[in-house]
Amino acid sequence: MKFSANLGFLWTDRPLPDAIRAAHAAGFDAVECHWPYDVPAAEVKAALDQTGLRMLGLNTRRGDVAGGENGVAALPGREEDARAFIDEALAYAVQIGAGCIHVMGGFARGDAALAAYVSNLRYACDAAAPQGITILIEPLNRHDAPGYVLRTTDQAAEIIEAVGAANLKIMFDCYHVGRTEGDVTTRLRALLPMVGHIQFASVPDRGTPDHGELDYAYVFAAIRDLGWEAPLGAEYKSAKPTDETLAWLAPIRERFA
């Protein structure tokens, strides 16, 4: 079983290229990130080449974070911004060899928001397809992101059907699904053909996967039995330095070797 370090949460005390090197030193098989745009792509690519790790994916910008935005792709009237963010993410992903882009929808409700989201996702999928890049959408739980446009995996499946693009997939975060819907492995099994990436953290505190409501030994076994071979994204939070939070990794690797 392979694991990816999400550098939006892990090793955030150091520059992104150094975080990539730290993930390699810790034994991760890949990395992923949130918003790398303040770091020149050439520096990220150099760290990836040095370590042999692949950057699995990144997010589009959130917009006016100070003003409370968390993505703009589902905000009616913000199409120009949404597509500029998509173009920026695509250019960066191509430069560093990332395989996925998570297009963030934002806080919105209603038919107009859904129409804007679908239209912008079609734009993203059309732009990404020639590069072999997958576009991801992620349901976010109502506790951490109240009012976010995409809340459940059923909604995500409906949007994928509406967009009608082969390179649009679900970012299936076991943490978010666990907090909103539960029944994580059943949902994953049902949606597997639509899943482009899997992430995890403990429920409900979003910590390391060795405690909480979800039994990750069971979850990881189910993922293995489904034939999933891509790295699973460790996207957890901790008050400790990342190197002090990795006691879960070796036992899981040994169990699923």
Catalytic positions = 138, 235
Strands (E) across 2-86 are located at 3-6, 30-32, 57-59
Contact present, 253 and 33 (Cβ < 8 Å): no
DSSP code string of 64-75: -TTTT-SB-TTS
Q: Is the peptide bond before 139 cis (omega within 30 degrees of 0)?
A: no
Contact present, 167 and 192 (Cβ < 8 Å): no
Tell me the torsion sign for CA atoms 223, 225, 230, 234. Answer: positive
Query: What gap in Å lies between CA 50 and CA 46, rounded to an integer?
Result: 6
User: CA 233, 65, 138 angle in degrees (round to 5)?
Assistant: 35
Beta strands 232-234 and 3-6 are: parallel
Distance of CA 214 to the CA centre of its chain: 19
